[in-house]
Amino acid sequence: MRCCVDIVKFFLFIFNFLCFLGFCALFGGSIYVLLNGEDTFIGRNIEPSLDKADPENATYFLFLLIGIVVTAFLALFTCLGCCGAATKSGCMLGSFIVILFVLFGGSAGAIIFLHTQFGWKAVEAVLVQELHRNLPSYSADSLLTRWFWDWVQPTFQCCGVEVYSDWKGVAGLTSGWSVPKSCCLEGEEECMYEPSSETVYSDGCAQNILLPTQILFYGIPSIMFISLVFAFTVSASVSSAERRRKAAVRQDPRAEEQYSVGAEEEFSPHQASYSQGYGTSGGPSAPLYPTDNLPYNPGYGGMGDTVSPYYGGSLASYPTGTVPPPHSHVPLLHQAPPSYNEVVSRRK
């Protein structure tokens, strides 16, 4: 059982650690683009302003600001999961579970809402709708939209939203062009002027990117759910180990110095040998000394496995019930055992 918990903890740590690195990279990249926009794919300097006099600058600045805040939050969130799994911290794991539960509930609610509005083909309907809305804004001035279409069409070998004729009437195209150059097949350098099914990609982009979009749309909540189950498993294991530690300390306060969370298997045999066995009548019964490592007593001849070197007989002959032992077993661990003559004289 503990092996399975360790495997779950390992996967939870690795996944959150990789996500933490990715979100840190996105956080740093967003700051770099904000400070050096002219050297990036945006191609222009971005001023920290939301002034409507320059709507394009305001759009870029707002987009990057949201990206910085979101990636910083997600980096902190995944750091909680990573460090909580590594250190078995109940506080970190609890915070991670609460945040993850809220995010999972929001994503699951969004999926349910979209399906109630658009039916079972909600992802396809929303994808086609948004691509049709975005296509007319393709122009040299709208760098993000232009970069998106010029990357999607050759990558997925598609043109337009559903057919290549969707580009007809887009004002942002170069004068005389009917489709962007990214729609052209390899070797067709002049297809922009008179496109046909033999010179441009015949498939629409909505059809070709539907599967990756569905995987992303349904995959993120699924990963959240699996991470939530893993986090609950690790948290329950940590809580169980903490309860066992507190129970052991209540039985014997000295156990606190020897016990550590996560090492209950190493501690339990020693705890059992020193704190077991209290009589039903209220008095202590015989301490259960291990028979595989008996102390050396040169004055005693019988050293069999079933013979006590302290009282000269079998372990069963030790006085039980309300009669306390002549000496506490704790000092005996630090003193030489009594000789055979001493034991015999005591029994007389």
Are 87 and 35 contacting, i.e. CB atoms less than 8 angstroms apart? no
What local confidence, expressed as pLDDT, does residue 105 receive?
Answer: 93
d(CA 338, CA 313): 13
Question: Is residue 158 packed enough to be buried (19+ CB in 10 Å), middle (13-18) or exposed (0-12)?
Answer: buried
Share of the chain above pLDDT 70, in %: 73
Q: Which CATH class is domain 138-208?
A: mainly alpha
- Contacts of residues 308-311 at CB distance under 8 Å and 24 or more positions apart, as own/partner, are 309/337, 310/337, 310/338, 310/343, 311/343, 311/347
What local confidence, expressed as pLDDT, does residue 252 receive?
Answer: 67
Taking the CA atoms of the chain, what radius of gyration do you get in angstroms? 36
Tens digits of residue pLDDT in 211-242: 999 999 999 999 999 999 999 988 888 887 77
Residue ranges of the chain that CATH labels 1.10.1450: 138-208
d(CA 290, CA 277): 14
Write the secondary structure of 287-309 as one string of H (helix), E (strand) and C (coil). Answer: CCCCCCCCCCCCCCCCCCCCECC
What local confidence, expressed as pLDDT, does residue 271 receive?
Answer: 45
What local confidence, expressed as pLDDT, does residue 326 receive?
Answer: 52
Segments in the chain below pLDDT 50: 259-294, 296-297, 299-318, 320-321, 323, 328-333
* Residue bearing tokens 């059982």: 1
Whole-prediction pTM = 0.63
- Per-residue DSSP letters for 190-226? TTTTS--TTTB--S-HHHHSHHHHHHHHHHHHHHHHH
Angle between helices 210-251 and 90-118 (to 10 degrees): 150
